Structure 1
Amino acid sequence: MFGSLLLTDILDKYHKQSGKKLWDAKHENLSNEIERIKKENDNMQVELRHLKGEDITSLNPKELILLEEALENGLSSIREMQMEYLNIATRNTEMLEEENKHLALVLVRMFYVNL
């Protein structure tokens, strides 16, 4: 407690003598950064609403074209992933069918050996 009071006194004396406030500049920078992040967040929320098809009446034709292209690119990526999953599922099904045939053959052989 004693050390922190001493540090506070030193900072107060420095502020009075130099006319500078150390924390004000830092707080101003933080405040500016918070404002920048808030604006970025607001812009992203507007963009997300546009991607959902909401509030698009305010967009001009060029912005609508860009939005349409972004949606088409997203849809294309989703279709590619779906095809990849479908191909994997098809390969897995084929492998399981082959394994099933093999196991059925093993069972038949075991049956005839035990007769």
Structure 2
Amino acid sequence: MGRGKIEIKRIENANNRVVTFSKRRNGLVKKAKEITVLCDAKVALIVFASNGKMTDYCCPSMDLGAMLDQYQKLSGKKLWDAKHEIP
């Protein structure tokens, strides 16, 4: 028997929201690691929590800086544009 579908909306209870975020973040990191190993893919993952904490993962064969440079080159998007400052 499968799980029931849930409605995708903001979780109002703060404790439940933190627990759900933590579990789903860990699941994303696990999947990123799996696709790196299984498919020999280069994967980078950056997750920012609402409290400002950051979680990142980058495949072992490449550092995050090189990964971001490659993204910028292939996408044509300037990640380090001075007009997009972080407050």
Short-chain TM bin = 0.3 to 0.5
Work out which of the two has the higher radius of gyration on C-alpha atoms and give 1 or 2: 1
Name the TM-score, length of structure 1 as normaliser: 0.28
The structure whose residues are more often strand, as a share, is 2
The structure whose residues are more often helix, as a share, is 1
| Structure having greater relative contact order (Cα 8 Å, sep ≥ 6) | 2
